[in-house]
């Protein structure tokens, strides 16, 4: 076992981990952060997407030892500090972009990473940014609409990169 330190959902923390663990395994099985889903387990579906140092990453392929010093955001860290939904989550609800919900956490975090990088993406850029996330309900139209609706907001309302605001 090894001790590593990192920032998880804005909280600096230390954890004792088994080097063979993936980040997904650590989050779900040892932190009880089960909002991050396991789909394929092999980097194909995007259900396990989290944000690491500002980038959308498949946590099923990410070795936990590489989390040392990283800033990690999971779906549990996306909501506002007062517990209200992030504007992206609200937009997903408003346009019906949540169907079975299994891919939704990963979709939201890929969209968040996209908007942090490019707050006003075109439809093509949104589709490209979400290309690694598969929706088994095939509800892509509403998902793209939700991200488009957010991309018209001022950046401070999108709360771009909240973990860097401190
Ligand atoms: S579970 Fe990680 S990409 Fe499918």
Structure confidence at residue 165 (pLDDT): 40
Range 49-71 average pLDDT: 97
Q: Is 132 in the pocket of ligand 1 (CB under 6 A)?
A: no
- Residues 6 or more apart whose CB falls under 8 angstroms from that of 16 comprise 1, 2, 3
Atom of ligand 1 nearest to the CA of 39: 1
Pairing of strands 11-17, 49-52: unpaired
Coil, helix or strand for 105? helix
Query: If you count DSSP H runs as helices and E runs as strands, how many of each does the chain have, helices first?
Result: 6, 5
pTM reported for the whole predicted model: 0.92
Coil, helix or strand for 50? strand
Structure confidence at residue 109 (pLDDT): 97
For residues 59 and 48, give the distance between their C-alpha atoms in angstroms, rounded to a whole number.
6
Q: Is 44 in the pocket of ligand 1 (CB under 6 A)?
A: yes
- Could you tell me which of 105, 79, 92 has the C-alpha nearest to residue 140? 92
CA-based angle 147:149:154, to the nearest 5?
A: 100
Range 31-40 average pLDDT: 97
More confident residue, 139 or 38: 38
Range 30-34 average pLDDT: 96
Q: Is 136 in the pocket of ligand 1 (CB under 6 A)?
A: no
pLDDT tens column, 68-104? 999 999 999 998 888 889 999 999 999 999 989 999 9
Residue 159 has pLDDT above 90, yes or no: no
CA 112–ligand 1 middle distance (angstroms): 18
For residues 68 and 46, give the distance between their C-alpha atoms in angstroms, rounded to a whole number.
22
CA 40–ligand 1 middle distance (angstroms): 5
More confident residue, 139 or 147: 147
CA 153–ligand 1 middle distance (angstroms): 30
Q: Is 88 in the pocket of ligand 1 (CB under 6 A)?
A: no
Atom of ligand 1 nearest to the CA of 48: 2
158: confidence class by pLDDT, cuts 50, 70, 90? low
Range 52-68 average pLDDT: 97
Q: Is 54 in the pocket of ligand 1 (CB under 6 A)?
A: no
Structure confidence at residue 80 (pLDDT): 84
Q: Is 23 in the pocket of ligand 1 (CB under 6 A)?
A: no
pLDDT tens column, 101-133? 999 999 999 999 999 999 999 999 999 999 999
Structure confidence at residue 157 (pLDDT): 65
Atom of ligand 1 nearest to the CA of 43: 3
Residue 146 has pLDDT above 90, yes or no: yes
- Tokens in use for 121? 């993406």
């Amino acid at each position: 076992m090894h001790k590593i330190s990192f920032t998880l959902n804005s909280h600096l923390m230390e954890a004792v981990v088994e080097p063979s663990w993936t980040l997904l395994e650590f989050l779900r099985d040892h932190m009880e952060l089960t909002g991050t889903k396991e789909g394929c387990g092999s980097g194909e579906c995007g259900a396990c997407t989290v944000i690491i140092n500002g980038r959308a990453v498949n946590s099923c392929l990410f070795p936990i030892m590489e989390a040392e010093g990283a800033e990690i955001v999971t779906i549990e860290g996306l909501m506002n500090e007062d517990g209200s939904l992030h504007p992206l989550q609200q937009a997903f609800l408003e346009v019906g972009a949540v169907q079975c919900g299994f891919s939704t956490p990963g979709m939201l975090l890929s969209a968040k990473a996209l908007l942090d990088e490019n707050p006003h993406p075109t439809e093509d850029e949104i589709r490209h940014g979400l290309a690694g996330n598969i929706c088994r309900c095939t509800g892509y139209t509403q998902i793209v609409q939700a991200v488009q609706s957010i991309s018209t907001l001022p950046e401070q309302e999108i709360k771009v990169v909240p973990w860097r605001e401190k």
